Amino acid sequence: MKQLNSYRFYELGAKLHSLTGAENNGRVTDLFAPLSEAQTMLDGFIKGDAITLTSSKSDAVKLLNKIGSIFNRSFIDPSTRQLRAGDSEERVDTHEIAMLRTLVEKFEHALAAELNRAPTYVAGRCGIYSTYDLAENAQEIFSEAQRAIIPVAAQNEFAAAGRALAFGLATASVVHALRAIELMLRSYYETFTSSPLAKSERGYAAYLKRLTSLVEEEDRGNTTARPDKRVVQMLAQVKDHYRNPLVTADLVTSIEEATQLFGMGSALIALMSDAVATRKTPEGEISGDVRNALSALAAAKGEAEAF
């Protein structure tokens, strides 16, 4: 997926019409800029810079060849193949101008027919989120320090959740957001235990169950640092209200629900990343993985920090 720069279509039309407009008197010296600019713009369209042309491509190629032949005949020395200055009194043959005008019109009709079927859509804002930020920069809702802690896979899933939300794909957005939360949840869980779960036991429910038991130990008077009870409660809410209902095929996820989870998920991932970053070892130092991540971030900024 790439962002479509719709202004380029206006630019292409302006460049082509500068070749055949009524103000064009056919003098070679006056055609240098219009010919070279139209040639560059049209070549970019044919190569797919703006949009991949299909049914109109052959007409575009014919037009480009005609523009190129006029330019070469007027401004390229046939013996040296070097650029030469055009004669101020020389004019392009009226037959050539008529053929050029015909090819421009044929390409315009072909392009109009193709664009009428092109898969281009307008996506509006989703709540307080702009379409562009959701589609391109969703992961930047987290601070730079948080992104140094959040697993790259989790950031990629959250970015996918933003893109799905931008285009109204509510269920897809929820699935990607849940995957992002679960990837961060694993890192969060592992900061509070020295015994990671076996691969066959890993999963949202298993992590939540272990974290809940750790919180209950704190309630019974265990003074060892434990997970934040509020984070565990939020994780349970996400599981009950978003994750579990997805297994029901009849459930229809609304865009409002997807937007709510997107906001809740960003807050939850941020809270977990902050906890990972500030988690202390028994000696009172930041754990090795966190220290390495923060050191890399500081080095990227050119700052010296002592941990």
CB 172 within 8 A of CB 164: yes
Cα–Cα–Cα angle for 183, 265, 245, rounded to 5 degrees: 85
Which tokens hold the place of 163? 């893109």
Q: Is the pTM of this model over 0.75?
A: no
Domains assigned to the chain: 7-117 (1.20.58), 131-278 (1.20.120)
pLDDT of residue 203: 84
Residue 165: partners with Cβ closer than 8 Å, 6 or more residues away: 126, 129, 134, 138, 173, 255, 258, 259, 262
Give the model confidence (pLDDT) of 169-184 as tens digits.
999 999 999 999 999 9
pLDDT, tens only, 184-238: 999 898 888 766 676 767 788 888 888 888 888 755 555 456 788 889 999 999 9
All residue ranges of the chain with pLDDT < 70 are: 1, 21-26, 86-89, 121, 194-196, 198, 200, 218-225, 280-307
Closest Cα partner for 208 from 272, 286, 278? Answer: 272
